[in-house]
Structure 1
């Protein structure tokens, strides 16, 4: 039963990541040996999808299916004002530091 649950979670994670590649931007930030993956969405649907991706990533990380040194966060970007790379990096780092380990 446990193997079936884990394999279903992995399949769901890959399905979500495959669907998100068209509309969600993904950024990685290295922080003192840890990597933070930021899923960035602009519209409400994209933000919801980014939050689902980050939540799925974190669930897989806690199940030891993803490296423990990689954390995932969701970032909301304004649809009318694009963030610069420096602003995105600050937002990802800030979200990672405020999120529970």
Structure 2
């Protein structure tokens, strides 16, 4: 099971394995998909990440019908679920950027 891998029969609320995705999900009470998006953005806070990169991480590089629309939903839901001080910024036509509070430490370290 790779960094973004999970059992095919899992529900989106159940996290398997001990990895950064699991740490993000536990720390912020995120679903698996939200945790993947959070981790993808949080690896480089303040830097822009394209939607294509987020889709690739969510779907392991596979072609998935309607992948972008589902990804936008996960990003929107993530922004609503994060605690005070965090923000997911939409840079129209470019991608997304995560803003974190001063002194923030990633939960996977």
How would you bin the TM-score normalised by the shorter chain?
0.3 to 0.5
TM-score where L is the length of structure 1: 0.32
Bigger radius of gyration among the two: 1
Q: Which has the higher helix share?
A: 1
TM-score where L is the length of structure 2: 0.31
